[in-house]
A = this chain, B = another copy of it.
Amino acid sequence: MESNNSVPQSRIQQRNVNIILSAAMDVIAEFGFHGTTIGKVAKKSGISRTNIHYYYPTRNDLIMAAIVRVNEDWYDAFRLVDANGDPGEELMKYVTAKLKSSFAHPRFSQVFISEIMAGAPLTKNYIKNTMRRVFRDACQVLQKWIDEGKIIDVAPEHIFFMIWAMTQYYADHETAVKLLLDKRSLGDDVYDAALETISAMIVKGLIRAEH
């Protein structure tokens, strides 16, 4: 998946790749997969279009590199769930991390869904293989809790889907949320209300009371 196989990068290369990818994520988040052009990334990053071609020969190379970054982030979040911890606490830890990320870095979620909605043309194989493996491992953890009677017996896959749905909603539907709540930006007050609603659904909805 990664194109540069641990080739040591020069100072300039490192700096420019960072600038370019950050700009690319902004553009993808704003204009979507198909609306992203090298010209827009050039303008946003301050690096000339032809120079971007120097680092990323084709448009797809550029978009792919940006998406890889997002996927790595998504992937890392799974490590947060500890099978031996308390289900309620562990799930809330995970939900909180996801929700925080949605409010602080909505771009990540937006880039991810842009590619998914386009049919995952670039990362289909990565999702089918790498991601699915990690996903199944995480589902095993939930299944263990179900077997132990600690959480209710519903398909673990869908528990994750719903957690992602609820937490990523505020990033992906940022515009609609702002317009409906009549807010210029999504601040702490919105975050708090969101977390309260989600935690009620997760904790009261999924966790079995001890007895």
Contacts and interface: CB of A to CB of B under 8 A. Distances in A.
A80 interface: no
B200 A152 contact: yes
Interface string A149-191: 0001011011101101110111011011101111000000000
Q: How many copies does the complex hold?
A: 2
Given A180-B132, A205-B202, A155 B118 contact: no
B117 A196 contact: no
Contact of A155 (B155, B157, B176, B196): B196
A94 to B, nearest CB: 15
The interface residues of chain A, by DSSP majority, are classed as helix
Contact of A165 (B35, B132, B165): B165
A197 to B, nearest CB: 4
A172 B120 CA distance: 12
A175 B116 contact: yes
Contact of A205 (B33, B110, B194, B205): B205
